[in-house]
């Protein structure tokens, strides 16, 4: 297969976690096309498992959807030097008020491959220790815990639609509970 080649990238907007660009692409037959591209700094997320097996999720308002969602705790990686596992541990405690020294990599998720390079590194957290939430001033998060069966129902009935959350739960259920 002949390859498509990017011949120019023009940044159009730079925010705190992303840069939106207009890319000029050359197709294998020599034509050019304009494609949107979002460059993302990366993120980390964590699937927290309580000692009784329930999984901790956070309920929060998401502006893009104009509604509340149920998700695993997640957040951006602070700069290129911060390890994803450090960001995952930080987000776990900030958003849920739990800490864990037992984080293992669960999966890497490319969130929107058609137009964005965001990769979320997702970790499994066990041996949770209760601390306290440290929310950002614009975060309003409720912490909830669900059984595996409850989560499967929430996914299949469309209540949980967040891709990182679905991928993390289903990977965990397949790899760790069979």
Q: What is the DSSP string of 82-121?
A: S-HHHHHHHHHHHHHSEE-SEEEEEEEEES-TTTB--EEE
Q: Which residues contact 14 (CB under 8 A, 6 or more apart)?
A: 20
Q: Which residues contact 176 (CB under 8 A, 6 or more apart)?
A: 124
Concerning whether 137 is annotated as a catalytic residue, the answer is: yes
User: Is the separation of the CB atoms in 71 and 57 below 8 Å?
Assistant: yes
Distance CA 109, CA 121 (A): 7
The residue from 137, 139, 144, 150 that is catalytic is 137
- List, by residue number, the catalytic residues: 137
């Amino acid at each position: 297969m002949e390859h498509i080649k990017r011949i120019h990238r023009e940044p159009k907007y730079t925010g705190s976690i992303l840069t939106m660009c207009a890319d000029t692409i050359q197709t294998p037959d020599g034509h050019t096309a304009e494609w949107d591209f979002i460059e993302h700094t990366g993120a980390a997320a964590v699937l927290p498992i309580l000692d009784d097996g329930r999984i901790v999720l956070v309920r929060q308002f998401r502006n893009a959807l104009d509604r509340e969602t149920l998700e695993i705790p997640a957040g951006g990686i602070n700069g290129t030097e911060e390890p994803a596992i450090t960001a995952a541990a930080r987000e776990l405690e900030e958003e849920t008020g739990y800490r864990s020294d037992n984080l293992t990599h669960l999966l890497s998720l490319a969130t929107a491959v058609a137009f964005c390079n965001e990769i979320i590194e997702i970790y499994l957290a066990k041996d949770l220790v209760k601390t306290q939430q440290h929310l950002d001033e614009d975060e309003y998060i409720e912490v909830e815990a669900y059984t595996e069966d409850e989560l499967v129902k929430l996914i299949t009935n469309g209540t949980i639609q967040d891709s990182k959350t679905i991928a993390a739960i289903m990977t965990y259920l397949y790899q760790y509970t069979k």
